[in-house]
């Protein structure tokens, strides 16, 4: 009986995790639609860390958390 309860709670937690993850991904996608790449590039240009790639990418991702590391890196490379 206890095993069934543990399995049921585990399955419920897994479903909640999946629902929340998809919701977060959907919200991040909507945020990306609202902001243009030019906004990201403008922010990067305003930073005085042009010689330090890591600091520039960290600042960009702190300002815009919906950006992935790969996206932030490609934006920096396009700068």
Q: Residues 7-66: pLDDT tens digits?
A: 999 999 999 999 999 999 898 888 888 888 888 888 888 876 667 888 888 988 999 988
pLDDT of residue 50: 64
pLDDT of residue 66: 86
Mean pLDDT of 68-73: 90
SS3 50: coil
pLDDT of residue 28: 87
Identify each DSSP E strand in 1-79 by its residue range: none
Domain extents for the chain? 1-34, 35-79
Cα separation, 18 vs 69, whole angstroms: 22
pLDDT band, very low/low/confident/very high, at 1 (cuts 50, 70, 90) = confident
């Amino acid at each position: 009986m206890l095993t069934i309860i543990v399995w049921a709670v585990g399955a419920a937690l897994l479903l909640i995790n999946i629902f929340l993850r998809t919701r977060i991904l959907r919200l991040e996608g909507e945020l990306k639609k609202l902001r243009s790449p030019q906004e990201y590039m403008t922010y990067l240009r305003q930073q005085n860390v042009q010689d330090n790639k890591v600091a520039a990418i960290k600042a960009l991702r702190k300002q815009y958390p919906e950006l992935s590391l790969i996206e932030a890196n490609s934006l920096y490379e396009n700068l």
